Amino acid sequence: MRAQGSRWWLLGGGLIVAGVLAAALAVVRRRGELPVYTIAAARLLAGEEIYRTTDAKPFSYPPFFALPALPLLGLPDQFRALTWYFVSLVALAEGVALVLRQLRPVLPAWGAGGRPSRLLFLGLLGALTAELLMAPIQYASHDSLLFLVLMVGVSAWAGGAPVRAGVFLGLGAAAKATPLVFLAVFLWQRELGAALALAVTAAAATLVPDGIFPRADGQLWAAVWYRTFVAPLNVGQPAEVEGVWRAGNHLNQSLAATVYRLLTPVPGHIEKAPDVSLLHPGPVTAEVVMLLGQLAVLAALAWVTRRGPDLGVTPAERAFRRLGEAGAACAVMLLLSPMSGRQHFAVLLLPAAVCLADFLYRRRAPLVGGLLGMMLLLGTVADKDFVGRAVGNRLLAYGSLTGYALAALLGTAWVLADRRRTMRRSGTHPHRAARQGGPHAGS
């Protein structure tokens, strides 16, 4: 009873803190991406076109994500921002809590001798991911909500509820398309229930706006979205859509965009985009390198998520494996997305937490430690808040967050492969000793 009371006090305190922070942000921060969503919602409500590439900041998401902003339309501007920041902060906190809850079996207990180790884990994880987690708040983007939806789905998958996982990941795909990477993973693993739930949910949610706010010309909203933003894209090339995405944009941290900047001089008319090209092999060679890089990332995901023998695998180990596989999928999702901005990288909390937990509580592998150090440098130290705007923009042009995602993918792949090797050789559960409280168990 006392523990339950403490949880309620903690929840209440957290909501109060979120409310105070949201009120402060609503006063001092610019509105960021929020008007993109509210304008799209207002146009949807009025029966107008929501996909306009002539806007200063076009709404480029699938139609489903115009709906969550509808309740904000009746609020004054200041209260819109306050509500948006409050919901975003709560969503972010709950998403982080879901990840930590799934990792609990592999972390040492809070008791005597265990407390410093868990505090060390939380501190290091914060150092690795705090800048990425706060980016959606700074941009007032919808990525905090997407983060929560994806983490609910991943948590369900790790907890042995694949259909529920498919439903929430399908909602994520309806909001931003790139979580369809999980559909490929489910099909690859022959998780047909999860794959079907994801596909049906994504399709149904995508069509909801057509049922409530049909277009006057009889077309589907999703068809117009696809024709406007997806059809112009080419495999093996950076995103380039007139008025929406520019190939040389230094803020785009997708793999193709970073390779393009490193191999192609940036035209002088692209504002604020530093030229960081190292080689100039020509457009055909650059396109081949981009395509090979994307194929390598897909091959890495296929290797990481390949099915293995489950004989003797405990529920805790299976859950940890699912978290790692989902973390790899999140990294690939960002690397292959047409546009991956800084505000989209909060989902890399997942692979960072998996790599850090394995490094601290199972095996101090130098490769994983080096990759974690690289992630710290590329994601936190390279941030504009630390190195200044000019240096931060140049590092982004070089692909600092692209490197973070690649390091997260490589680290997760190594961790999962090494855990499988350990189990095959010893027939023991990697975290058995860690669950007994030892911070160095299994090392």
Spatial contact of 378 and 129, defined as CB atoms under 8 Å apart: no
The predicted pLDDT at position 371 comes to 97
Task: Extract the tokens encoding 54.
Answer: 């002539």
The predicted pLDDT at position 6 comes to 52
Mean pLDDT computed over every residue of the chain: 86
**Higher pLDDT among residues 424 and 416, named by residue:** 416
CA distance 72 to 66: 11
CA distance 320 to 299: 21
For residues 298-314, give the mean pLDDT.
Answer: 83
- Is the pLDDT at 250 greater than 80? The verdict is yes
The predicted pLDDT at position 433 comes to 43
Reduced to 3 states, what is the DSSP secondary structure of residue 241? strand
CA distance 339 to 120: 34
Weakest mean pLDDT among 59-63, 237-241, 379-383: 237-241
For residues 115-128, give the mean pLDDT.
Answer: 84
The predicted pLDDT at position 301 comes to 96
User: pLDDT confidence of 312, banded at 50, 70, 90?
Assistant: low
User: pLDDT confidence of 21, banded at 50, 70, 90?
Assistant: low
**Higher pLDDT among residues 81 and 49, named by residue:** 49
Weakest mean pLDDT among 27-36, 78-87, 383-392: 27-36
- Is the pLDDT at 430 greater than 60? The verdict is no
CA distance 106 to 434: 6
- Is the pLDDT at 156 greater than 90? The verdict is yes
CA distance 58 to 380: 29
- Is the pLDDT at 268 greater than 60? The verdict is no
Spatial contact of 134 and 380, defined as CB atoms under 8 Å apart: no
Q: Find the DSSP H helices in 69-226.
A: 77-103, 115-139, 143-158, 162-176, 181-188, 192-212, 221-225
- By the 10 Å C-beta count (0-12 exposed, 13-18 middle, 19+ buried), 377 is classed as middle
Token pair 């993973």 in the structure block, residue: 185
- Is the pLDDT at 441 greater than 50? The verdict is no
- Is the pLDDT at 358 greater than 50? The verdict is yes
The predicted pLDDT at position 167 comes to 97
